[in-house]
Chains A and B, each alone.
Chain A
């Protein structure tokens, strides 16, 4: 269970992990902390990673009092002391961020789920085999 002050801490951390770009604020500014917390709660591995990472950072007030470089240093310290948990936490954060429609728009990606629309199958062009078809069989007889 993540308590409210940790939401502030997570929001600030997210802004350093995925900083602002173009018109978009950082991941924290996009209010993704709640979504990260919600998704983490669906799987104990993610929940555990989130708890460990937040636990390895300074208290919310101390973290917020740091400047950008100080916050990055604190994150790096947590990363080196809790490498596996930090990596898994990043996976969740990245996945949540890259599910966001505004992020898709910025990447100029359709952002649709693969189905049901799919994509168009291009035609099969046999001419690509021109060169390789000239090669003699070379499989090893047994």
Chain B
């Protein structure tokens, strides 16, 4: 796909940094509203027919050139991340579509209570917006991305009819659901941005190939290169790829004027714009804001609160896997878009921790990944190797908690003093500790998950108390709020310090909730885009 001929010397209305989940949504919305939009993305377009799931060595690629971990993949468009002081490794994909190329596309929504954590549970902060404020954009996003699911879930407010029927939960899903039923605990088929039928332009139904995290050959999994970007480009948006933004530029009064970036050949370039929208994710965005310090912004861009890069949240994840006596053939069907349980979503003081978690069921995969380890339990080498492998392969299902990870200022993204990316720019350094609350939450989830798996018939339980390579959800590092001293952007994603700078990715989350964040990220991005359309006509030429 190419973008239309554009004049790089012009001043665009809106310049977006990052072409992932949020950047694509903003580009489509603002180009539809008649804004002149340009997006700069450090990665490239992907060809779905070249995804490695069609290669016989896909299991090897999953641990090297197609690893979810940029520190292992190490492509020129990736930037390294210093994780020496972090209990979690952030994972992501850098390219058109961003991390939606690799995501699982499990798409629940935040609960109303997630927006009122301070009022309800006395910790963290309330969001400046509510669930009801976001609901119209959740619905819009469900339609553009394509959501399979079924309404009527008693754990959530009623929601509009899903555009497609649910992804069938399979015999294995029914087995785990049956266990939840017998325990009297909640479960529901997952909302998924995966086609259960043909939906969207050139997008087939899922063929249950079983491997979501290396791109979807069928184009059944929604990634924004397939959903929002074709619309945005049809509407005139320009997308520059292989181009790494190194700095947001500002004028003498500190307003954003555009970006300096390195093009695909490594040449230093400048693009001017009337406004800048940051969509580089919860690590890329604070990194770039810290890199953009200047006389007017000595602590980094839009950082008068000192909170840029602070309050980094992941979702704490620990593995509980059950080994079943019968064959489940768990490589059939999406890897973790099956069922969820929100029995333990809300605070119960008797449990010894605040907030809660969602259980997300997952399937095992091919024999190589099973041998390398389920829940961190590598199959032993030597005489026992074959017996253990055979017991686990075909027979392993998981139940993992997505746990609310409350914000703490010491969990942060800063600039590393030594490590640099392929362009020589300082890499981000992550400092992250698992809090006592998160630890207690994970321990609870492991106990309850074990109960469910045993009830379902598991004969062996494999536990990983806390998984490391699970920093899928990058949140909180430029939070929204009404108070400029306690937040970086306002409820519309507009910087408190710079009125033509907006942030639309997971950085703006005030708390993390206990669900996968991307529908919320995209709903926020669409809402900010509508705010710009309706209130910031001054940004249009």
B325 contacts partner chain A, Cβ-Cβ < 8 Å = no
Whether A75 lies near B381 (C-beta < 8 A) is: yes
Task: Name the B residues within 8 Å of A16 (CB-CB).
Answer: 381-382
Whether A95 lies near B181 (C-beta < 8 A) is: no
Whether B181 lies near A132 (C-beta < 8 A) is: yes
Out of B150, B211, B366, B372, name the residue touching A91 (CB < 8 Å).
B372
Task: Name the B residues within 8 Å of A129 (CB-CB).
Answer: 150, 152, 189
Known contacts A113-B55, A121-B205; A99 and B168 CB within 8 A of each other: no
Known contacts A99-B57, A115-B209; A135 and B186 CB within 8 A of each other: yes
Known contacts A16-B382, A18-B385, A75-B381; A118 and B208 CB within 8 A of each other: yes
Whether B393 lies near A107 (C-beta < 8 A) is: yes
Whether A113 lies near B56 (C-beta < 8 A) is: yes
Task: Name the B residues within 8 Å of A72 (CB-CB).
Answer: 382
B169 contacts partner chain A, Cβ-Cβ < 8 Å = yes
A136 contacts partner chain B, Cβ-Cβ < 8 Å = yes
Out of B63, B65, B111, B180, name the residue touching A95 (CB < 8 Å).
B63
Shortest Cβ gap from B354 to chain A (Å): 13
B120 contacts partner chain A, Cβ-Cβ < 8 Å = yes
Whether A132 lies near B188 (C-beta < 8 A) is: yes
Give bound CA distance, A39 to B170, whole Å.
Answer: 36
Secondary structure type dominating chain B contacts = loop
Out of B119, B170, B379, B386, name the residue touching A21 (CB < 8 Å).
B386
- When C-beta atoms are compared, the residue in chain A nearest to B56 turns out to be A113
Known contacts A99-B59, A116-B54; A140 and B346 CB within 8 A of each other: yes
Whether A45 lies near B371 (C-beta < 8 A) is: no
Give bound CA distance, A121 to B164, whole Å.
Answer: 14
Known contacts A113-B58, A133-B152; A122 and B111 CB within 8 A of each other: no
Task: Name the A residues within 8 Å of B169 (CB-CB).
Answer: 128
B contacts with A, residue count (CB < 8 A): 73
B266 contacts partner chain A, Cβ-Cβ < 8 Å = no
B469 contacts partner chain A, Cβ-Cβ < 8 Å = no
Task: Name the B residues within 8 Å of A133 (CB-CB).
Answer: 152
B210 contacts partner chain A, Cβ-Cβ < 8 Å = yes
Shortest Cβ gap from B72 to chain A (Å): 7
Which of A124, A126, A132 gathers most chain B CB within 10 Å?
A: A132
B467 contacts partner chain A, Cβ-Cβ < 8 Å = no
- When C-beta atoms are compared, the residue in chain B nearest to A121 turns out to be B208
A3 contacts partner chain B, Cβ-Cβ < 8 Å = no
- When C-beta atoms are compared, the residue in chain B nearest to A103 turns out to be B367
Give bound CA distance, A124 to B217, whole Å.
Answer: 23
Task: Name the A residues within 8 Å of B51 (CB-CB).
Answer: 115
Q: List 16 A-B contacts (CB under 8 A).
A: A90-B378, A98-B59, A99-B368, A104-B367, A114-B53, A114-B209, A115-B53, A121-B206, A124-B168, A125-B174, A128-B174, A129-B150, A132-B186, A136-B154, A141-B112, A142-B131
Interface contacts beyond A98-B367, A117-B209: sample of 16 additional A-B pairs, CB < 8 Å, sorted by A: A16-B381, A17-B385, A19-B386, A91-B63, A95-B371, A96-B60, A107-B393, A113-B56, A119-B210, A121-B167, A121-B168, A122-B170, A128-B174, A140-B113, A140-B120, A142-B115
